[in-house]
Amino acid sequence: MKAIILTAGYGNRMRPLTDHIHKTLLTVAGHTIIGRIVDGLVDNGIRDLVVVTGYRAEELTAYLSATYPHLSIQYVHNERYRETNNIYSMALAFEHTIIDDDLVLIESDLIYQPGVIARLLSSREKNVALVDRYARGMDGTVVTVDNGLITNVIPPHLQDEDFDFSDKYKTLNIYKFSREFCNSTFKKLLTYYAKVINDNCYYELILGILIYMQQETVHAEVLSGEKWAEVDDPNDLRVAEFMFNEQARPAILGDGFGGYWNYDILDFAFIRNMYFPTPSILSEMRNSLPDLLHNYGSRQSVLDTKMAWFLLCEPAHVHALGGASQVYPMLRERLAGETVLIPKPTFGEYTRIFPDALTYSDSVGIDTREIEAEAADRGVVVFVNPNNPTGTTLESAWIADFAGRHRRVLVIVDESFIEFSAVGSIMPLCDRAGLDNVVVIKSLSKSMGMPGLRLGYVYSRNREFMTFIGDSIPIWNMNSLAEFTLEIVLKHRNALARSFRDTIRDREAFAMELARLPEVERVFPSQANFLLVRMRPGVSGGALCEELLRRESILIKDTSGKFADGRTYLRFAVRLPQENLRLVAALGEAGARATGQR
């Protein structure tokens, strides 16, 4: 068996990383891309290689010669690598290679486990393409498969804006071809097409023609979980690092602090409503997407009005935000020099913007007498209701009464999880009592399940404060998709309310399952869509987080650092029931391994 590796390309999409190095010499998990490709071939007994070079050819050949002196490597140089595509490189390889054995054809932008090549070679069929079920993030040539045969090859230029990927398979660009096929039909048509018709297209086009004309049969070998990654751009390289460098996974996720759609993980760290938006809302958003992308959003006064319609309040009392996080820098500026009282522990933004704040204790339960004792000397008191990460909730009526009795204190109430509690928002109480010393902050991503849109608001009857916030907000403060969501959610209030009830039901069931685990000492009562758990002594939160991510691709949040008792505390977002049960099972397995029971 002989392998042809196509490495001529400039790697334009990988720039600027490839400006001064060949693309295949970039590293993933400490090993070069080309090294991984060659090692995978060698591990499967393939030691006879043909490498088609182009961009930075001397650099690549020097690396291969020094690293693999024991292999038989033939180099074929594509001098026209900047103006041609892989069909031309493939034609050159066929012209300059004696094909006296079956071939493995592989492109150089791949990282894979050696088992991927083993899967290809184990096929009894003569001509085989490795394919995987299409998933988000994949690009390039796709195929249709029927009864194990490739029935259609569809290169990228034939995938228009309405192209349906749902029933397609992604080619890995790893093929096994018989000697007879390479020396006859495939070689003749490919070299003719590259020389006479078009040298700047893909060799997959030739395969597609042969399949369409029923001149050749190519079988599909569908992967079943083997790891592989295509690295076309710097983001692909980061995703591949996550996939193949298990030790680096926590750092990669921690550094990103989001953007997890690129990674195959089950996320119990970030919190959102799993039952909203509904499929009908998603369909409406999808159908409107072209118009939304092509239009500016409305000015802030219009956004405030639409938010007020959703909240059933006066527009003068609310400012729509691009996520609640937008208001924190404004608060820091507005309240500089004020004496502030915040809960401990709580959401990290409050400790960040008020680094000198005094604290009142939330030991998964708040003693309001402590707040009363401290409030007289404070200019600002913050309530996070329910609090994060404890889930502790105070009665909104008590907070309103507190604000009424302390008119000189600015009372900030963060209600990002309020819908999952047994208490209602403080806003109607403020309106009835005319409280102008209360500021309500709300992230809608937690309750509406759309953190990617960045939706939130700030409410207050304090004119001076709201003027300050309004003056700090740019004229186009919200993208059109987020604004559109504010419009359509008015028609789906019942579905939104139902999603809260379903989440509360799941939270209680999740808590019961977690409480059964021997490693769990206590599941604290929660009024939010997350649960705080204290583990038994001896359980390391950091080690448990790392193990679940490495073994199960489950991301959890270690909140031990927010508590002063040195114990291990974990916070789990409430996801769908089957996902919650998967986490419980994974925790049980990890605990059993730690105690040597398995």
Structure confidence by residue, pLDDT tens digits, 314-332: 999 999 999 999 999 999 9
Decide if 259 is inside a domain: no
Decide if 280 is inside a domain: no
Q: What is the pLDDT of residue 594?
A: 66
Do 227 and 341 lie in a common domain?
no
Maximum Cα–Cα distance across the chain: 92
Decide if 250 is inside a domain: no
Decide if 254 is inside a domain: no
Q: Residue 461 is inside which H or E element, if any?
A: none
Do 457 and 532 lie in a common domain?
no
Tens-digit pLDDT profile for residues 568-581: 999 999 999 999 99
Do 437 and 544 lie in a common domain?
no
Q: Over range 107-116, report the average pLDDT.
A: 89
- Which of 443, 478, 513 marks a domain boundary? 478
Do 312 and 451 lie in a common domain?
yes
> d(Cα 314, Cα 311) in Å, to the nearest integer?
9
Q: Render the burial of 208-224: b for 16+ CB within 10 Å, e for the rest.
A: bebbeeeebebbbbebe
Do 223 and 84 lie in a common domain?
yes
Do 447 and 536 lie in a common domain?
no
Q: What CATH number corresponds to the domain at position 548? A: 3.90.1150.10
Do 80 and 215 lie in a common domain?
yes
- Average pLDDT in the chain: 90
Helix, coil or strand: residue 387? coil
Query: Token pair of 168, please?
Result: 């397609």
Q: What CATH number corresponds to the domain at position 308? A: 3.40.640.10
Query: Can you say how many angstroms the Cα of residue 529 is from the centroid of all Cα atoms in its chain?
Result: 20
Residue showing tokens 């030790």: 247
Decide if 489 is inside a domain: no
Do 450 and 311 lie in a common domain?
yes
Q: What is the pTM of this model?
A: 0.85
Q: Over range 521-549, report the average pLDDT.
A: 93
Decide if 526 is inside a domain: yes
Q: Over range 7-32, report the average pLDDT.
A: 90
Decide if 287 is inside a domain: no
Query: Token pair of 381, please?
Result: 């008191």
Q: What is the pLDDT of residue 210?
A: 81
Query: Can you say how many angstroms the Cα of residue 105 is from the centroid of all Cα atoms in its chain?
Result: 32
Decide if 488 is inside a domain: no
Do 449 and 340 lie in a common domain?
yes
Q: What is the span of the domain harbouring residue 221?
A: 2-236
Do 382 and 458 lie in a common domain?
yes
Instruction: Specify the length of the chain in residues.
Output: 598
Do 466 and 527 lie in a common domain?
no
Residue pair 400/430 in contact (Cβ under 8 Å)? The answer is yes
In the beta sheet, which residues pair with residue 4?
50, 105
Question: What is the number of other CB atoms lying within 10 angstroms of the CB of residue 35?
Answer: 18
Specify the number of domains making up the chain.
3
Do 95 and 19 lie in a common domain?
yes
Q: What is the pLDDT of residue 598?
A: 46
Q: What CATH number corresponds to the domain at position 94? A: 3.90.550.10
Task: Give, to the nearest 10 degrees, the angle between helix 57-67 and helix 33-42.
Answer: 40
Q: How many CA atoms lie within 13 A of 553 on its CB side?
A: 11
